[in-house]
């Protein structure tokens, strides 16, 4: 029956498939479906930029218009990966510039982006509309200036948590007067000054602007003027909110805020005077997303007063200054909460966090729709985790971080195995899990048994023996990314099921008990894996002693063999 | 692996905290022998630590084949225990009811109860889980010894933040042994418990446990906590896992905020509160309150356990002078007054200055007898005159 469908019909049917997983599945059915699908695929997602080459991407998907690329392993966020490990985007842009100039959208995460890359984008893709950079580095505002100047139809420039050098700060003025298409502009992560007049003019002429996130250099009076021009904003990131509540500016700001009834998402407040927060109260009732995790200047009482008004809140990112009590207020006020992230307010103070298991239990009791959690806490108990699991069976992402990575149950002094076991047993849809606290092999037994949908698992300072890792590798059929640090897993675990790694995106093991020899034999056995050893310091000098423990190993499946851009300190076996 | 049983176990788990559980258990009971045989078939022994593949909840497992009476009892106990244990009670620091504390002691000191909390294979004693094994064989003695020693002190004292506390006490010894213990496998938990039991008692201060004071102590011992991080390093690289972008940004922002506001940084502001005649002092986080009234209520609750004599109205001339000081009124006309020590080391009556100023200058609080405080009043007036 399928053979009688003309290709146009198939293509039309496939056009309703947006998820890349669905499209991947469809392309496996038969050759004709493979071909129809590949010519009609517009958005391509590449989770590891070294798994495939840009040339092969273009030859398979000649009509790609949107490309998502991810570079460094996740633990690079925590300084565990060398700065120059890799993840360069330039080769991709070069290849696309030659073979696929229809590119409209580029989304990069943890990649090294140079100004040259940005300039090449600006020159090569006449229809370029959207640039999203998350946790990238290597570029300056000069590169941004190139994008601003040349991309005539730019709709989205979204910079999230990038490390950007800012030599001149005039990039904003590079948007030509003819640019009116901007719908989303996020430069909150930039450290330098911006041309405020240019910003105001830009906002005034971009009538479609829906999302605007400012950096700390935009003072409240400019914010007020901007809001007056753009009451249609849906997503606002306030920069500086420090001013005198008695002032005229503050009054104007209050008045103009009241008119911004479209705002659904609020963030920023990088500099904030808590006494000025009442200006926001009128829009709280509309908020579905609130991110105050970069605003350490707000004390718990004020936080609570604010959040209490956000009855429709679905996503809350906050600092642990809110405290357990504050969290229980959140639980009673924000019944529709789905995502909660509680960060440490003082990241350099290892000894303290102001929230404990009580806050989490309170949230779970009040917010049954909770499906995504990141929680930095001082302590945890099994009982609390079991309660949370019972209250919230819908978790998709559950990431817990105790300050002391091997702290046991605070009441019983037992390992937290049972608590996490409850989570995986109850939350059938769990896709991402980070465990911490005192944990034995038992927790991995539970994870292997129950976490059937788990795709990403982060382990630190946990387990007793190889068995732990083996339970996970055997049990979690959908595992894609496994990252392990400082845990006693060794060669037996690494080599127990080598075929498994081809079903996964990547495996990271650092400060474990894996030896050089085991990595070598794994690399020999599995040619479609890149097994990289990251050496810092003297290890490379001493030659390769097979019995030596490897400090950092990162392996990933690939179709294109060892990469050629690895620095000297990275060995691909 | 028996997935079918797994699902039943899941059902049991969902109903863990509620009485109807017993009915569900009844269903599970019938399957228990199957469970045990399969589980023992999958049994993996590892250096004697009896790692079993089993439903960690053990509710269906608890339904022992031995006698239904026993299992009903154990189920019920477990239900009650778990229910109370998970019952959420939030209150001001120091307001934790004694009942709750005794629940915890029941939880942690009852050996029989612990077994029921954790997976049990029917008809076999102490075989099932890793935790059980270590409790039963290796270190149960240590654990229960500790518990007995704490019968006087409420066990939540024992447990509250104790882990960090002990780590403070024994700097380098503990983390090293912790790490080694972990890597040694089955000995891990035993060693950790041993450390606790030996270290805990002597270092325990006699304080009614609350969260607030503990935070304060942890804050004071912050540096100790740093040094007691695992892996015997002063600071573990990349832990806690916070993006470096966030770390850098927050560090800069906090500094900026402090400069701008000129206030002490955000976060908790813990002040010691002592009371004449009380056996121990408490700590309060001044940031939790924004008015004198709130502070007063909190302190009242905190020190309620110590008798505050109600002496009727004592109208001393000094108090009349400060007639507007409602704060003292709030102490129910008792002869106790709240005083604070400011930055200059002077003791003054609380309530005269605006709250914001008070927070900034207050270093300690003291609940004094009214008779002792009489001398303070004139100085307060003078000082506020000077400041004005």
Q: Quick one: which H or E segment has residue A145?
A: helix A141-150
**Beta A184-186 vs A156-160: how paired, if at all?**
parallel
Poorest-confidence range of A426-440, B36-50, B264-278?
B36-50
Mean per-residue pLDDT, A13-21: 90
Comparison of pLDDT for B33 and A536, the residue scoring more: A536
User: Which of residues 170 through 229 in chain B touch A, CB cutoff 8 A?
Assistant: 178, 182-183, 185-186, 188-189, 192-193, 196, 211, 215, 218-219, 221-226, 229
Poorest-confidence range of A61-65, B50-54, B280-284, B300-304?
B50-54
Partner-chain contact A413 B242, CB within 8 Å? no
Mean per-residue pLDDT, A515-527: 93
Partner-chain contact B182 A293, CB within 8 Å? no
Q: Quick one: which H or E segment has residue A301?
A: helix A300-308
Q: At A311, list the tokens.
A: 């009855």
Q: Does the CA dihedral A51-A55-A59-A62 come out positive or negative?
A: positive
Nearest one of A2, A41, A421 to B117, comparing CA atoms: A421
Mean per-residue pLDDT, B68-94: 44
* pLDDT-based confidence at residue B356 (cuts at 50, 70, 90): confident
Asked if A286 contacts A309 with a C-beta cutoff of 8 angstroms, the reply is no
Residue-level pLDDT at A430: 97
Mean per-residue pLDDT, A431-459: 96
Partner-chain contact A349 B222, CB within 8 Å? yes
pLDDT of residue A318 exceeding 90: yes
Q: Does B291 contact chain A (CB < 8 Å)?
A: no
CA distance B137 to chain A (A): 15
A60: exposed, middle or buried (C-beta count within 10 Å: 0-12, 13-18, 19+)? middle
Residue-level pLDDT at B81: 43
What angle, rounded to 10 degrees, do the helices at A220-229 and A248-259 form? Answer: 30
pLDDT of residue A21 exceeding 50: yes
- The number of CA neighbours under 13 Å toward the Cβ of A75 is 29
Q: Does the CA dihedral B82-B83-B87-B93 come out positive or negative?
A: negative
Integer Rg of chain A from CA: 25
Q: Which alpha helices (H) appear in B269-369, and where do they start and end?
A: 292-302, 317-321, 326-330, 355-361
d(CA B267, CA B290): 14
Residue-level pLDDT at B299: 82
pLDDT of residue B153 exceeding 60: no
* pLDDT-based confidence at residue A457 (cuts at 50, 70, 90): very high
Closest partner CB to B266 (pick from A299, A324, A426): A299
pLDDT of residue B11 exceeding 70: no
Closest partner CB to A464 (pick from B182, B243, B254): B182
CA distance A450 to chain B (A): 9
Q: Does B43 contact chain A (CB < 8 Å)?
A: no
β-strand partners of B148: none
pLDDT of residue B262 exceeding 70: no
Mean per-residue pLDDT, A423-435: 96
Per-residue pLDDT tens digits for A548-564 = 888 999 999 999 999 99
Partner-chain contact A464 B186, CB within 8 Å? yes
Residues 6 or more apart from A123 whose CB is under 8 A from it?
A: A97, A150
The per-residue b/e assignment along B90-103, b for 16 or more CB within 10 angstroms, e otherwise, is: eebbbebeeeebeb
Residue-level pLDDT at B352: 77
Residue-level pLDDT at B256: 58
Contacts of A386 in chain B (CB under 8 A): 16, 82, 86
Q: Does B106 contact chain A (CB < 8 Å)?
A: no
Partner-chain contact B85 A383, CB within 8 Å? yes
Residue-level pLDDT at B14: 47
pLDDT of residue B39 exceeding 70: no
CA distance B312 to chain A (A): 35
**Beta A265-272 vs A211-213: how paired, if at all?**
unpaired
User: Which of residues 321 through 360 in chain B touch A, CB cutoff 8 A?
Assistant: none
Partner-chain contact A351 B261, CB within 8 Å? no
* pLDDT-based confidence at residue B237 (cuts at 50, 70, 90): confident
Partner-chain contact B167 A75, CB within 8 Å? no
Alpha-carbon distances, residue A138 vs A32, A86, A111, A188, B247 (angstroms):
42, 11, 9, 17, 19
Per-residue pLDDT tens digits for A408-423 = 999 999 999 999 999 9
Contacts of B9 in chain A (CB under 8 A): 425
Poorest-confidence range of A206-210, A535-539, B325-329?
B325-329
* pLDDT-based confidence at residue B66 (cuts at 50, 70, 90): very low
Nearest one of B112, B13, B16, B91 to B55, comparing CA atoms: B13
pLDDT of residue B156 exceeding 70: no
Residue-level pLDDT at B165: 34
Comparison of pLDDT for B273 and A96, the residue scoring more: A96
Q: What is the dihedral of CA A323, A324, A330, A335, to 10 degrees?
A: 150
* A-B contacts (CB, under 8 Å): 256
**Beta A211-213 vs A235-241: how paired, if at all?**
parallel
Q: At A351, list the tokens.
A: 């000894």
Compute the mean pLDDT over every residue in chain A, rounded to the nearest whole number. Answer: 91
Partner-chain contact B257 A271, CB within 8 Å? yes
Residue-level pLDDT at B95: 46
CA distance B80 to chain A (A): 13
* pLDDT-based confidence at residue A97 (cuts at 50, 70, 90): very high
Q: Which of A269, A274, A412 is best to mutate for the B interface (most B CBs within 10 A)? A: A412
Nearest one of B271, B139, B288 to B216, comparing CA atoms: B271
Q: What is the dihedral of CA B90, B93, B95, B99, to 10 degrees?
A: 70
pLDDT of residue A81 exceeding 50: yes
Mean per-residue pLDDT, A500-506: 95
Residue-level pLDDT at A187: 94
Per-residue pLDDT tens digits for A370-418 = 999 999 999 999 999 999 999 999 999 999 999 889 999 999 999 999 9
Residue-level pLDDT at B353: 79
Supply φ then ψ for residue A561, to 5 degrees.
70, -175
Poorest-confidence range of A168-182, A288-302, A465-479, B251-265?
B251-265
* pLDDT-based confidence at residue B75 (cuts at 50, 70, 90): very low
CA distance A11 to chain B (A): 41
Contacts of B250 in chain A (CB under 8 A): 294, 296, 345-347
CA distance B225 to chain A (A): 5
Q: What is residue A510's DSSP assignment?
A: E
Residue-level pLDDT at B77: 43
β-strand partners of A398: A373, A433
Partner-chain contact A386 B86, CB within 8 Å? yes
Asked if A370 contacts A393 with a C-beta cutoff of 8 angstroms, the reply is no
Closest partner CB to A350 (pick from B85, B225, B268): B225
Contacts of A376 in chain B (CB under 8 A): 240, 242
* pLDDT-based confidence at residue B381 (cuts at 50, 70, 90): very low
Q: Quick one: which H or E segment has residue A108?
A: strand A105-109
d(CA B201, CA A447): 36
Partner-chain contact B86 A387, CB within 8 Å? yes
Residue-level pLDDT at A28: 94
Tell me the residue length of chain B. 388
Residue-level pLDDT at A544: 62
CB atoms within 10 A of CB B39: 21
Per-residue pLDDT tens digits for A324-354 = 999 999 999 999 999 999 998 876 665 556 8
Mean per-residue pLDDT, B45-65: 41
Residue-level pLDDT at A348: 64
Contacts of B246 in chain A (CB under 8 A): 161, 293-294, 343, 347
d(CA B351, CA B359): 11
Residue-level pLDDT at B257: 54
d(CA A198, CA A172): 6
CA distance A390 to chain B (A): 6
Which residue of chain A comes nearest to B1, CA vs CA? A449
Partner-chain contact A413 B156, CB within 8 Å? no
Residue-level pLDDT at A543: 56
Percent pLDDT > 70 in chain B is: 23
Q: How far from the centroid of its chain's Cα atoms is residue A286's Cα?
A: 25
Percent pLDDT > 90 in chain B is: 0
Partner-chain contact B13 A426, CB within 8 Å? yes
Per-residue pLDDT tens digits for B174-189 = 334 333 334 333 333 3
Contacts of A242 in chain B (CB under 8 A): 260
Contacts of A426 in chain B (CB under 8 A): 10, 13-14
pLDDT of residue B374 exceeding 70: no
Q: Calculate ∠ Cα A51-A52-A58, nearest 5°.
A: 155
Nearest one of A441, A531, A410, A549 to A491, comparing CA atoms: A549
β-strand partners of A106: A67, A131
Comparison of pLDDT for A120 and B164, the residue scoring more: A120
Per-residue pLDDT tens digits for B197-230 = 333 333 333 333 333 333 333 333 333 333 334 4
Comparison of pLDDT for A499 and B250, the residue scoring more: A499
């Amino acid at each position: 029956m399928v053979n009688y469908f003309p290709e146009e019909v198939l293509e039309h049917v496939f056009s309703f498939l947006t998820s890349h997983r669905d499209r991947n599945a469809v392309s496996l059915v038969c050759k004709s479906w493979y071909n129809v699908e590949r010519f009609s695929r517009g958005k391509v997602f590449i989770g590891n930029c070294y798994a495939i080459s840009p040339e092969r991407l273009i030859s398979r998907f000649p009509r790609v218009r949107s490309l998502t690329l991810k570079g460094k392993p996740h633990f690079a966020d925590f300084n565990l990966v060398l700065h120059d490990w890799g993840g360069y985007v330039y080769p991709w842009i070069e290849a696309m510039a030659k073979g696929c100039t229809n590119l409209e959208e580029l989304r990069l995460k943890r990649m090294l982006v140079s100004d040259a890359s940005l300039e090449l984008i600006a020159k090569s893709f006449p229809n370029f509309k959207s640039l999203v950079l998350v946790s990238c580095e290597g570029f300056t505002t000069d590169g941004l200036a190139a994008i601003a100047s040349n991309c005539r139809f730019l709709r989205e420039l979204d910079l999230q948590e990038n490390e950007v050098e800012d030599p001149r700060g005039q990039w904003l003025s590079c948007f030509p007067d003819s640019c009116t298409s901007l719908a989303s502009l996020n430069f909150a992560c930039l450290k330098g000054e911006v041309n405020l007049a240019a910003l105001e003019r830009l906002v005034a002429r971009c009538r479609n602007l829906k999302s605007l996130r400012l950096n700390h250099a935009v003072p409240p009076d400019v914010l007020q003027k901007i809001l007056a021009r753009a009451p249609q904003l849906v997503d606002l990131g306030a920069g500086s909110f420090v001013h005198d509540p008695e002032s005229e500016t503050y009054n104007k700001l209050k008045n103009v805020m009241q008119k911004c009834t479209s705002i659904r998402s609020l963030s920023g407040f990088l500099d904030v005077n808590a006494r000025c927060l009442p200006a926001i109260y009128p829009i709280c009732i509309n908020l579905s997303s609130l991110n105050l995790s970069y605003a350490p200047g707000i004390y718990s009482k004020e936080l609570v007063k604010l959040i209490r008004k956000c009855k429709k809140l679905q996503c809350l990112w906050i600092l642990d200054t809110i405290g357990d009590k504050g969290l229980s207020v959140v639980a009673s006020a924000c019944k529709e909460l789905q995502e909660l992230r509680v960060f440490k307010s003082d990241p350099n103070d290892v000894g303290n966090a102001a929230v404990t298991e009580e806050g989490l239990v309170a949230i779970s009791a009040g917010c049954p729709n909770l499906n995504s959690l990141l929680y930095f806490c001082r302590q945890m108990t099994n009982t609390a985790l079991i309660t949370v699991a019972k209250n919230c069976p819908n978790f998709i992402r559950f990431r817990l971080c105790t300050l002391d990575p091997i702290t046991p149950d605070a009441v019983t002094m037992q390992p937290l195995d049972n608590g996490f076991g409850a989570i995986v047993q109850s939350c059938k849809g769990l896709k991402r899990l980070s465990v911490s606290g005192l944990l034995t092999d038992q927790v991995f037994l539970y994870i292997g048994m129950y976490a059937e949908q788990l795709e990403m698992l982060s382990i630190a300072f946990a387990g007793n023996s190889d068995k732990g890792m083996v339970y996970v590798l055997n049990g979690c059929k959908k595992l894609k990314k496994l990252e392990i640090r400082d845990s006693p897993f060794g060669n037996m675990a690494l080599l127990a099921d080598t075929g498994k790694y081809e079903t996964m995106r990547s495996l990271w093991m650092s400060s474990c008990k894996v030896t050089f020899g085991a990595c070598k034999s794994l690399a020999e056995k599995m040619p479609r894996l890149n097994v990289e050893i990251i050496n810092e310091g003297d290890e490379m000098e001493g030659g390769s002693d097979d019995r030596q423990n490897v400090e950092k190993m990162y392996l990933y499946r690939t179709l294109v063999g060892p990469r050629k851009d690895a620095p000297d300190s990275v060995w691909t076996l | 692996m028996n997935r079918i049983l797994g699902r039943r176990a899941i059902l049991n788990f969902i109903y863990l905290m509620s009485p109807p559980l017993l009915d569900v258990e009844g269903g599970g009971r019938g399957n228990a022998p199957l469970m045990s045989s399969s589980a023992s078939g999958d049994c993996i022994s590892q250096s004697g630590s009896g790692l079993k593949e089993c439903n960690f909840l053990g509710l269906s497992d608890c339904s022992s084949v031995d006698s239904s009476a026993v299992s009903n009892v154990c189920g019920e106990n477990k239900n009650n225990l778990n229910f109370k244990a998970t019952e959420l009670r939030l209150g001001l620091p120091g307001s934790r009811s004694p009942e709750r504390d005794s629940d915890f002691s029941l939880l942690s000191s009852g050996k029989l109860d612990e077994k029921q909390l954790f997976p049990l294979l029917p008809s076999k004693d102490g075989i099932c889980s890793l935790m059980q094994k270590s409790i039963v064989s290796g270190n149960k003695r240590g654990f229960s010894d500790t518990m007995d020693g704490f019968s006087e002190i409420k066990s939540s004292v024992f447990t509250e933040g104790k882990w960090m506390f002990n780590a403070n006490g024994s700097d380098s010894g503990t983390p090293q042994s912790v790490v080694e213990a972990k890597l040694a496998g089955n000995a891990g938990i035993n060693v950790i418990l041993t450390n606790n039991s030996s270290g805990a008692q002597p270092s325990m201060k006699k304080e009614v446990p609350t969260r607030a004071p503990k935070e304060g102590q942890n804050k004071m011992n912050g540096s100790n906590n740093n040094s007691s991080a695992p892996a015997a390093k002063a600071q573990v690289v990349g832990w806690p896992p916070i993006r470096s972008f966030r770390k850098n940004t927050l560090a800069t922002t906090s500094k900026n905020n402090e400069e701008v506001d000129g206030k002490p940084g955000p976060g908790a502001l813990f002040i010691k509160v002592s009371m004449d005649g009380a056996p121990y002092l408490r700590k309060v986080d001044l940031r939790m309150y924004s008015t004198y009234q709130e502070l007063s209520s909190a302190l009242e609750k905190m020190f309620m356990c110590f008798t505050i004599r109600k002496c009727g109205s004592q109208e001393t001339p000094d108090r009349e002078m400060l007639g507007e000081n409602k704060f003292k009124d709030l102490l129910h006309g008792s002869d106790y007054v709240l005083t604070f020590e400011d930055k200059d080391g002077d003791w003054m009556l609380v309530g005269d200055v605006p709250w914001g100023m008070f927070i900034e200058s207050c270093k300690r609080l003291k609940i004094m007898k009214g008779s002792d405080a009489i001398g303070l009043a004139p100085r307060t007036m003078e000082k506020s005159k000077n400041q004005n």
